[in-house]
């Protein structure tokens, strides 16, 4: 069964036709439970997200800030397995019809088997995989498996990436490019800063792939600011925080849906 890289491409292209940035949401699988996580992701998509990234919880994250680490810890203590992550992708896509990617560090994929992971993610209806810590020089086996199974391979670029490095990373990737708006771990920020805009400009100079910006966006004003220069706005910690702060699940789901709606308005204002 082929994955949904073409669906991802069509959704990003449709946003461009509408002269707006796409809204990409993130939540780790298994948070607060596997079933409730599916409900939360569905709420994000119902609220206005175009694309969703399902995180594979990791015990030793290098990119995730304290909010996502807390959610990962809850999922890990709940016994989350790769099969649960794949089920989350499958059910979220089946319920909404939206493109759903998996965001994961490389170790779990390597241990599971890259070819097997690509096949199972595609069978679940996944659109691709975001691999923030996989060096492009070591990605050939994964990229080949992903391409064979109709999956996007999304690499992360950072403000520290030199132009020649950007060209090498983007040439190996597909789907879109994940531009980290600033150096450091994930988490909401008071401002997104100018580094992101410069990074998007430099990335676009070497690739025709859409460039989506993540790390730091938490409200509609920031979403509009980023949407003015990026093809997509990625939001994760702000959604996780809404669930963590809610007194109960139903209020958490309502808060997640409402935030998606606010952000969806923001990406349509474009600054």
Distance (Å) of CA 199 to CA 7, 147, 155, 186:
26, 26, 14, 17
Neighbours of 148 (CB within 10 A): 14
Q: What is the mean pLDDT of residues 31-57?
A: 97
Per-residue model confidence as pLDDT tens digits over 69-104 = 888 888 989 999 999 999 999 999 999 999 999 999
Model confidence, pTM: 0.93
The answer on pLDDT for 192 being more than 60 is: no
Helix/strand/coil percent split, the chain, to 5 = 50, 15, 35
Edge-first strand order for the sheet with 211-214 is: 152-154, 128-130, 100-103, 51-55, 22-28, 232-235, 211-214, 177-180, 156-157
Contact 7, 127 (CB under 8 A): yes
**More confident of the two residues 191 and 176:** 176
- How does residue 184 score in pLDDT terms, banded at 50, 70 and 90? very low
Active site residues per annotation: 53, 64
CA 30 – CA 17 distance, rounded (Å): 35
User: Predicted confidence band at 121 (pLDDT cuts at 50, 70, 90)?
Assistant: very high
pLDDT grade for 45, boundaries at 50, 70 and 90: very high
Question: How do residues 200-250 score in pLDDT, each as one tens digit?
Answer: 999 999 999 999 998 778 999 999 999 999 999 999 999 999 999 999 999
Query: Is the predicted pLDDT of residue 190 greater than 70, yes or no?
Result: no
pLDDT value at residue 63: 63
Look at the chain and count its residues: 271
The rounded Cα 236 to chain-centroid distance in angstroms is: 8
Model confidence band, residue 64 (pLDDT cutoffs 50, 70, 90): low
């Amino acid at each position: 069964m082929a994955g949904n890289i073409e669906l991802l491409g069509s959704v990003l292209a449709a946003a461009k036709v509408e002269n707006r940035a796409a809204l990409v949401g993130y939540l780790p699988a298994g948070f607060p439970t596997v079933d409730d996580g599916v409900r939360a992701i569905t709420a994000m998509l119902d609220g206005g997200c175009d694309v969703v990234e399902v995180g594979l919880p990791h015990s030793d994250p290098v990119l995730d800030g304290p909010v996502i680490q807390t959610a990962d810890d809850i999922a890990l203590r709940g016994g989350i397995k790769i099969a649960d992550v794949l089920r989350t992708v499958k059910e979220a896509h089946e319920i909404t019809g939206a493109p759903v990617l998996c965001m994961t560090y490389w170790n779990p994929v390597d241990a599971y088997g890259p070819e097997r992971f690509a096949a199972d993610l595609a069978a679940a209806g996944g659109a691709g995989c975001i691999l923030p810590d996989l060096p492009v020089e070591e990605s050939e086996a994964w990229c080949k498996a992903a391409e064979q199974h109709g999956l996007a391979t999304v690499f992360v670029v950072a403000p520290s990436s030199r132009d020649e490095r950007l060209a090498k990373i983007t040439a190996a990737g597909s789907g879109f490019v994940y531009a980290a708006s600033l150096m450091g771990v994930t988490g909401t920020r008071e401002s997104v800063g100018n580094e992101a805009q410069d990074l998007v400009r430099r990335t676009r100079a070497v690739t025709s792939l859409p460039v989506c910006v993540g790390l730091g966006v938490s409200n509609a004003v920031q979403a509009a600011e980023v949407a003015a220069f990026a093809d997509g706005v990625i939001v994760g910690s702000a959604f996780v925080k809404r669930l963590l702060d809610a007194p109960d699940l139903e209020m958490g789901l309502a808060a997640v849906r409402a935030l998606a709606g606010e952000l969806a308005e923001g990406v349509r204002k474009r600054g």
